[in-house]
Structure 1
Amino acid sequence: MPGLHIQDLEAAINWWRERRPSQDGLIACDEVLALAEIYADMVYRRHTHLPQTRLKPTALSAWLAWYATTPDAPCIAICSTTQGDAVCKGCGRSFDEIQDWTVMDPFEKRAVWHRIIHEQTAWRFNRYAERARSPSQDEVVA
């Protein structure tokens, strides 16, 4: 069963810290506190994954809010599975992952994202990387 990866947890904590900074420099917002509790336990136990069932409602809600800001699919509109490849050269997902993407939950999708980012073999990470960038990452030429 896919779960929460510590890198996603770190990203969610930082996202919330940016959006709701501490007013006094000491006490974090409720979302950061909920996520930080999980993070501390994972670091203490040297775990990189946590089953999603272990997330308390506040932490789950905070993580899902961060997740909603991430790119949904790794697709770069170059799909080699339509030509019979078992794994897409464009995005790095398997044929089954592409077919099941719309019914996957956020934790399953993030597990796929972590795998393809770790492998770095898909074209989205090299010759067609510009297609994978969001508009905010592109420089605006006046």
Structure 2
Amino acid sequence: MALIHVTDIEDTINFWRGRTDVPVGAALSPELDALARVYAEMALRREDAVDESRLDGPARAAWMAWYATTPDTPCIAICSTAQGDAQCKGCGRSFEEVQHWLSMTPAEKRWVWARIRREGTAWRFTRYAERAMESAPGLLSNS
């Protein structure tokens, strides 16, 4: 079971809101309508995640279009798992997550992103990342 966190659904909705001009009172675009249904169902069930299998075709296509705009990996090219750490100091992924990253589904990858963002201890999310951004704007992304 691969879960998609509510923050990714919200980010996807905002992605499509920025690309779709919907006048007040007009019908939503197919992408926004499909995502709004998923979001409403999650709210009614008080869920903070949805199994990706519950996304119908339009919602899944809309989510995948947003996903394609996000960085694939949180790697910042400082991999302490290569030095024997169970958790990478650079990106925050576990050794197993680093090893299996290429075989993970988009939803599984985004779940890892949500966890490492929430933990906020990886160098990617600390002062190191801020200094890197100052010296090379556009190099790192927190998406």
CA distance change for structure 1 residues 136 and 82 in 2, over 3 Å: closer, same or farther? closer
Q: Distance between the aligned counterparts of 2:20 and 2:108, measured in 1?
A: 28
Aligned position for 1:75? 75
Aligned position for 1:117? 117
Q: Distance between the aligned counterparts of 2:34 and 2:116, measured in 1?
A: 28
CA distance change for structure 1 residues 60 and 73 in 2, over 3 Å: closer, same or farther? same
**Partner of 2:127: helix, strand, or coil?**
coil
Aligned position for 1:25? 24
Q: Which amino acid counterpart does residue 40 of structure 2 have in structure 1?
A: A
**Native 8 Å contact 2:13 2:35 kept in 1:** yes
Question: How far does the alpha carbon of each residue in 1:81-130 deviate from its partner, in whole angstroms, 9 at most, with x for none?
Answer: 11110110000001111111111110000010011011111111113214
CA RMSD of aligned residues (A): 2.0
Aligned position for 1:2? 2
Aligned position for 1:13? 13
**Native 8 Å contact 2:3 2:51 kept in 1:** yes
Q: How many residues align?
A: 137
Q: Which runs of 5+ in 1 are unaligned?
A: none
Q: Which amino acid counterpart does residue 30 of structure 1 have in structure 2?
A: P
**Native 8 Å contact 2:129 2:140 kept in 1:** no
**Native 8 Å contact 1:31 1:62 kept in 2:** yes
Q: Which amino acid counterpart does residue 84 of structure 1 have in structure 2?
A: G
Aligned position for 1:34? 34
CA distance change for structure 1 residues 13 and 134 in 2, over 3 Å: closer, same or farther? farther
Aligned position for 2:48? 48
Aligned position for 1:135? 138
Shift of 1:5: 1.1
Q: Which amino acid counterpart does residue 75 of structure 2 have in structure 1?
A: C
**Native 8 Å contact 1:17 1:28 kept in 2:** no
**Native 8 Å contact 1:21 1:28 kept in 2:** no
Query: TM-score, structure 2 length as denominator?
Result: 0.89
Q: Distance between the aligned counterparts of 2:21 and 2:102, measured in 1?
A: 34
Shift of 1:3: 1.2
